[in-house]
Amino acid sequence: MLFDTHAHYDAEQFDADRDEVLGALPGAGIALAVNPGCDLPSSRAAVALAERYDFLYAAVGYHPENCAPYRPEDLEALRELAEHPKVVAIGEIGLDYYWEENPPREFQQQVFRDQLALAAELELPVIVHDREAHADSLAMIREFPQVRGVFHCFSGSAEMAEELVKLGWMVSFTGVLTYKNARKAVEAARAVPLERVMIETDSPYMAPVPHRGKRNDSRYVRLICERLAEIKGVSFAECARVTRENGKRFFGIA
Ligand code: NI
């Protein structure tokens, strides 16, 4: 049984068949999944879905790409949502310098900082999105040494992954591990002890080979687990067990 630690089932790509897809997951070997929010409506939708599916948990937060409408008073709404027993993290939050049309860097940093402070206050882990912002992301999490988190869809170097492990953080890998040009992600996965690794689909995005370019869903986390097992030189069953236990420990799921 597998734990998909990052999947966006509130995304519009699932509007036509959301319940069909989610309903089929436990029968397809998916034990657990976490649905992070990207803004307030998406965080509310994530919590509503988690209420309906036992295996599904939620995180709440403002994604850097979606943070333009953020106002400091939104922290109160996030705080209220985070009280829900199925909310296991603040996320996804972070920095994205890739898209030019994203909110200005200084604003992204303010939103990230506010949500790191909220996580510290609520003693919740964080799910970090870092795209083309490695140095600033590392600097910002260092401002909150009491906060633990995961860098999801990890795209940094092996050295950065080792640095995160030293800070007590986790590193999470997607279907990128299965791509032919994935040298950097593979090197990072090699550098990190398996006890600090989680796996995720980032559905509906990032489908692993041979589904690359199509809509992703949690069933395909199996392909990521297979590839990670190969990279780490362990059996599929061992890789599935360890990454599942890592996720449960990280998110505090009994
Ligand atoms: Ni995501």
Region 16-26 average pLDDT: 98
Distance of CA 146 from the midpoint of ligand 1 (Å): 23
Rounded Cα distance between 126 and 151, Å, is 9
Q: 206 C-alpha vs ligand 1 centroid, how far in Å?
A: 10
The per-residue pLDDT for range 114-171, each reduced to its tens digit, is 999 999 999 999 999 999 999 999 999 999 999 999 999 999 999 999 999 999 999 9
What is the CA(93)–ligand 1 centre distance, in A?
9
Determine the pLDDT at residue 170: 98
Phi, psi of 154 (to 5 degrees): -60, 130
Number of other residues whose CB lies within 10 A of the CB of residue 102: 19
Cβ atoms within 10 Å of 237's Cβ, excluding its own = 10
**Mean pLDDT for the chain overall:** 97
- Please give the distance, rounded to the nearest whole angstrom, from the Cα atom of residue 147 to the centre of ligand 1: 20
Measuring CA to CA, which residue among 141, 54, 65, 127 is closest to residue 99? 65
- Nearest residue to 87 (alpha-carbon basis) of 124, 41, 115, 120: 124
Find the 212 Cα to ligand 1 centroid distance in Å: 17
Q: Beta strand 56-60 with 87-96: parallel, antiparallel or unpaired?
A: parallel
Q: How far is the CA of 8 from the centre of ligand 1 (A)?
A: 7
Q: Concatenated DSSP letters for 3-45?
A: EE--B-TTSGGGTTTHHHHHHHTGGGTEEEEEE--SSHHHHHH
**Helix, strand or coil for residue 182?**
coil
**Ligand 1: distance of its center to the CA of 135 in Å?**
20
Q: What is the pLDDT of residue 147?
A: 98
The confidence score (pLDDT) of residue 35 equals: 98
C-alpha of residue 23 to centroid of ligand 1, in Å:
21
Residue 225 Cα to ligand 1 middle (Å): 18
Tokens standing for 252? 């505090």
Which band of pLDDT confidence, cut at 50, 70 and 90, is reported for residue 97?
very high
CA of 34 to the centre of ligand 1 (A): 10
Give me ligand 1 centre to Cα 151, in Å.
11
**Per-residue pLDDT reduced to its tens digit, 190-234:** 999 999 999 999 999 999 999 999 999 999 999 999 999 999 999
What's the average model confidence in pLDDT over 22-40? 98
Please give the distance, rounded to the nearest whole angstrom, from the Cα atom of residue 10 to the centre of ligand 1: 11
**Exposure b/e, 69-93, CB count within 10 A at least 16 = b:** ebeeebbeebeebbebebbbbbbbb
